């Protein structure tokens, strides 16, 4: 009986500790988000005040810039040297920085011959059985060997 009570006590203690850590993490993330938004609001106000004082910009151009900045506010990622950086689906700078290969569309520059994938050893990791039909290989049943 004492063992059961001890196990229940340890279980509830673990749940309470995990919940406290989750709450503190949520508070930290919310604080980081608010810090980013306040930095961005300062950047936006500084940029808009400079554009407003510039005689080359009209009030319409300043309003367009303000609406563009407001739409970008949700995509803010971080600040570096006072300049904001935003989340971007096609971030080519990060691809180049990480030395990742660019995904090709099937054409290889400099090669005149057409390559159709013959004599290439391929491992299939689609969760299917070995002798099942695989969509990647035309739906036919065949045995694949990995050497």
Residue 5 has what pLDDT?
86
Mean pLDDT of 131-139: 63
Instruction: Look at residue 95 in the predicted model and tell me its pLDDT.
Output: 63
pLDDT of residue 118: 67
- Nearest CA to 87 out of 78, 96, 95 is that of 78
Domain boundaries, the chain: 1-55
Average pLDDT, the chain: 71
pLDDT at 15 over 70: yes
pTM over 0.75: no
DSSP 143: -
Task: Dump pLDDT digits (tens) for 22-59.
Answer: 788 888 888 888 888 788 777 777 777 777 766 677 77
């Amino acid at each position: 009986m004492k063992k059961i009570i001890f196990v229940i006590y340890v279980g509830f203690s673990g749940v309470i500790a995990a919940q406290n850590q989750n709450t503190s993490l949520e508070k930290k993330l919310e604080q980081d988000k608010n810090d980013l938004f306040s930095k961005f609001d300062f950047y936006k106000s500084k940029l808009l005040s400079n554009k407003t004082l510039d005689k080359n910009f009209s009030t319409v151009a300043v309003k367009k810039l303000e609406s563009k900045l407001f739409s970008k506010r949700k995509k803010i990622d971080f600040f570096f040297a006072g300049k904001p950086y935003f989340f971007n689906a096609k971030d080519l700078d990060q691809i180049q920085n990480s030395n990742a290969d660019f995904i090709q569309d099937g054409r290889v520059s400099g090669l005149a011959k057409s390559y159709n994938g013959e004599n290439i050893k391929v491992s299939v990791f689609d969760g299917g059985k070995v002798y099942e039909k695989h969509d990647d290989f035309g739906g036919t049943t065949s045995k694949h060997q990995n050497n």
